[in-house]
Amino acid sequence: GAGVSQSPSNKVTEKGKDVELRCDPISGHTALYWYRQSLGQGLEFLIYFQGNSAPDKSGLPSDRFSAERTGGSVSTLTIQRTQQEDSAVYLCASSFIGYGSNEQFFGPGTRLTVL
């Protein structure tokens, strides 16, 4: 497709289970971002991939969170041993170049609910 896609769109899981969230960025975009958004709030930065450089993981809230980007394209955000406070919408974005004023294109998000 032409835009950023994310799957699943909704995920309901039980506390303590692991979840994987997938992001397919726009082809050719070198930068990929993951954010977390609580209802009606701003975006909380989680992790940033730029080309083949080591990712910026400074926003990950705990060691239960990890992310990979395979082949410079698809990314997976993994949350281990989910907690209720992990419930949020997880947004992925990609841009052509990471620095400066380049536009980030967002996917529709994955709504995660931890029961």
* Interface with another protein (CB under 8 A): 4, 33, 35, 40-45, 48, 56, 58, 91, 93, 98-101, 103-109
Closest by Cα among 115, 114, 113 to 10: 113
Q: How many CB atoms lie within 10 A of CB 4?
A: 21
Query: In angstroms, what is the minimal distance from the CB of 41 to another protein?
Result: 6
The Cα 71–Cα 88 span in angstroms is 27
72 DSSP 8-state letter = G
Nearer to another protein, 15 or 102 (CB): 102
Nearer to another protein, 53 or 81 (CB): 53
SS3 84: helix
Contact 25, 104 (CB under 8 A): no
Query: In angstroms, what is the minimal distance from the CB of 44 to another protein?
Result: 8
Closest by Cα among 59, 42, 39, 47 to 21: 47
Query: In angstroms, what is the minimal distance from the CB of 60 to another protein?
Result: 14
Nearer to another protein, 20 or 44 (CB): 44
Nearer to another protein, 4 or 79 (CB): 4
Query: In angstroms, what is the minimal distance from the CB of 114 to another protein?
Result: 20
